Amino acid sequence: MTDTERPDLGALFEHYGVRFSGRTRQMVACPLHEDRTPSCSVDLDKGLWNCHSCGRAGDSFNLIQLKEDLDFGGARTFAASLGLATGSAGGGDDELSGSAYGGRRKVAGRKGNQPRGGGYVPAWRRR
């Protein structure tokens, strides 16, 4: 496993006995403690999980560290020994956009060397 890869979160949860539906964002049982109702939200696209019961959260390496009581190096070795499918460790901005409302908007700059005046001026400032 290289520095730019991490274990696939879905494969890791399935290794710990947590079953998924076909969605990429869902609530599942937390593998760190006994759950009667799903309390752990998982986002497979981002590779992140968050348990609302125990307050623990993180990525696939954090889950291995907490579940197996290992440090980061041990978690990498454990993930490599399991042979889990690997995904990107992030860092790319291929899918990022400037706004959640559909792309970046252009904002007009100031024209020339005009002072920053214009618009509404409060009464106390007009004197």
Proportion of the chain above pLDDT 70, given as a percent: 70
Q: Averaged over 107-127, what is the pLDDT?
A: 68
In this prediction, residue 59 has a pLDDT band, given cuts at 50, 70 and 90, of very high
Q: Averaged over 81-91, what is the pLDDT?
A: 65
In this prediction, residue 86 has a pLDDT band, given cuts at 50, 70 and 90, of low
Distances (CA, A) of 103 to 95, 97, 99, 106: 11, 6, 5, 10
In this prediction, residue 124 has a pLDDT band, given cuts at 50, 70 and 90, of confident
The predicted structure's pLDDT at residue 1: 58
DSSP 80-122: HHHT--EEE-S---TT--S-TTTS--------TT--S--S---
Taking the model in full, what pTM does it have? 0.64
pLDDT at 24 over 50: yes
pLDDT at 41 over 60: yes
